[in-house]
Amino acid sequence: MMKGLNLPDHGVEIRQRAEGDLVFDPVRRRWVVLTPEEWVRQHVLNHLIRDLCCPLSLIAVEHSLVLNRMARRADILVHGPGAKPLLLVECKAPGVKLDTTVFEQAARYNTVFKVPFLLVTNGLAHSCCQIGPDGTFEFLPAVPDWETMSKALSA
């Protein structure tokens, strides 16, 4: 069984198999291999959808991007009105320390998406910041709900 996280538990669906457990991803609408990072990603998704009112249809999981001519994948990308990128989430396994390497990875991905909100999490610790149009950032005490974040797009 996976470790408890510092996120609301909305009953992530798990299917046990002899060759390894699967977890249901509501965004991709399929069962995926349950890894520690996937455990975090699914709890974050449920938190975004159920607690922060992010519309399921405006969330992308493992969104492809090209950075320095190399294919990469962003863990979670939440879109706002008009399908503009709103929140980029980088998920790590609970055992991974949230250090500058993790923040730098998220910042590099954001050179492509240019979101106003960035979240890095290992399921136990979370760090969310709002990025201003001039590139300055302010760390927030919590992730704002979708409506609050959406207002930042028009500001």
Tens digit of pLDDT at every position of the chain (155 positions): 577 999 998 989 999 998 899 999 999 999 999 999 999 999 999 999 999 999 999 999 998 888 888 888 999 999 999 999 999 999 999 999 999 999 888 988 999 999 999 999 999 999 999 998 888 889 999 999 999 999 988 76
89 CB contacts (<8 Å, ≥6 apart)?
Answer: 44, 48, 74, 75, 76, 77, 78, 119, 120, 121
Please tell me the CATH code under which domain 14-154 is placed: 3.90.1570.30
Q: What is the residue extent of each domain of the chain?
A: 14-154
